[in-house]
């Protein structure tokens, strides 16, 4: 199968910025684009193929047609026709709401959905002005949590980080979090759109209304444990794979290449996604199919792909993720 590119699904938000459009090279007059859904099989937001013989088909149709040949035999047995990952770029010019996501068990019971474990890779920090919140910095009980929501002090309990490009945060379901103003990030997550909004800074939408909070739902979804540091620590390297996160839902590495490299997927029973964040390259699979990929683009390789040769145009940095 030809490596798949998809048309981005752009989402306007009250906290969105202005970086996604130029980053992706789009000529569109759409202010406050907060998210670009790169690869999505969320019902109603299925990504549409932009290249090759399958152009015009959506991701749901591809999975149903190619099954394990596309996603991997074990993945198809595990997830069926549900493509398991959702890939986004997120641009925040204001703080997102404080939120939490349920795990698989709770999401299944309440929403007949997968849970939402995710990770963030910081691409840009607005000249050092960006921050985000991840996890509790002090121990609180569910009752104390509810009281802090009521008196607008919940942020006092959260770990708040100034961030730099290259920072990584892993967010298992149940961890309170918020992307902060100035963050431009790549996000990898389970295919789920279930979010419990905990606190929204008393903001009002264009109609003068505050957004709904989910205090009761979130209270039972939160992991109240406290960790010393919620960042994912790793040592950046050039011209080799650096693993960032491995969990039951995805494995993600970063490649920072100034030299050509051949990636061996012959023993991997999974699709592979590359998310390009800097520079550009040409990727050629083992069937001789070549596609150019530049910053702001993502590409999906079928599980039948055994090898990918990456030919860099000077420099390319991308995330690699699979299940």
Query: Which of 298, 136, 156 has the alpha carbon at shortest distance from 228?
Result: 136
Domain boundaries in the chain?
A: 9-221, 242-322
CATH topology match: 9-221 vs 242-322: yes
- CATH architecture under which domain 9-221 falls: Sandwich (2.60)
* pLDDT on residue 30: 64
- Is CATH 2.60.120.10 correct for 242-322? yes
Catalytic positions, written as ranges: 197
Cα Dmax for the chain: 61
What is the mean predicted confidence (pLDDT) over 85-99? 96
- Both tokens of 218, joined, read 């979130």
pLDDT digits (tens, 9 = 90+) for 113-143: 999 999 999 999 999 999 999 999 999 999 9
Q: Specify the 3-state DSSP secondary structure of 287.
A: coil
pLDDT band, very low/low/confident/very high, at 94 (cuts 50, 70, 90)? very high
* pLDDT over 90 (residue 293): yes
| Per-residue pLDDT tens over the stretch 19-66 | 999 999 887 666 678 999 999 999 999 999 999 999 999 999 999 999
R_g over Cα of the chain = 20
**Each residue's pLDDT tens digit, 246-271:** 999 999 999 999 999 999 999 999 99
């Amino acid at each position: 199968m030809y490596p798949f590119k998809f048309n981005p699904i752009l989402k306007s938000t009250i906290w969105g910025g202005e970086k996604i459009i130029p980053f992706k090279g789009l000529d569109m007059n759409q202010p406050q684009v907060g998210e670009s859904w790169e690869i999505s099989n969320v019902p109603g937001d299925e990504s549409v193929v932009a290249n090759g013989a399958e152009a015009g088909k959506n991701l749901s149709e591809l999975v149903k047609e190619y099954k394990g040949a596309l996603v991997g035999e074990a993945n198809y047995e595990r997830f069926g026709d549900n493509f398991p990952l959702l890939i986004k770029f997120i641009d925040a010019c204001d703080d997102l709401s404080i939120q939490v996501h349920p795990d698989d068990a709770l999401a299944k019971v309440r929403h007949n959905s997968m849970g939402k474990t995710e990770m963030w890779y910081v691409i840009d920090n607005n000249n050092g002005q960006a921050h985000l919140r991840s996890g509790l910095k002090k121990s609180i009980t569910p009752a104390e949590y509810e009281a802090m929501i009521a008196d607008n002090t919940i942020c006092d309990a959260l770990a708040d980080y100034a961030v730099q490009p290259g920072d990584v945060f892993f967010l298992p379901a149940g961890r309170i979090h918020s992307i902060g103003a100035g963050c431009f990030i790549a996000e990898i997550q389970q295919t789920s759109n279930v979010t419990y909004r905990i606190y929204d800074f008393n903001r009002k939408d264009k109609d003068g209304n505050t957004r709904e909070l989910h205090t009761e739902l979130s209270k039972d979804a939160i992991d109240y444990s406290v960790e010393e540091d919620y960042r994912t620590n790793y040592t950046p390297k050039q011209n080799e794979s650096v693993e960032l996160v491995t969990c039951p839902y995805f494995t993600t590495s970063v490649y920072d290449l100034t030299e050509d490299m051949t990636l061996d997927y012959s023993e991997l029973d999974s699709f592979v996604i590359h998310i390009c964040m800097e520079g550009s390259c040409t990727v050629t699979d083992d069937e001789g199919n070549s596609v150019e990929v530049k910053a702001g683009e993502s590409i999906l390789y079928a599980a039948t792909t055994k090898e990918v040769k990456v030919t860099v145009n000077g420099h390319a940095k991308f995330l690699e993720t699979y299940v």
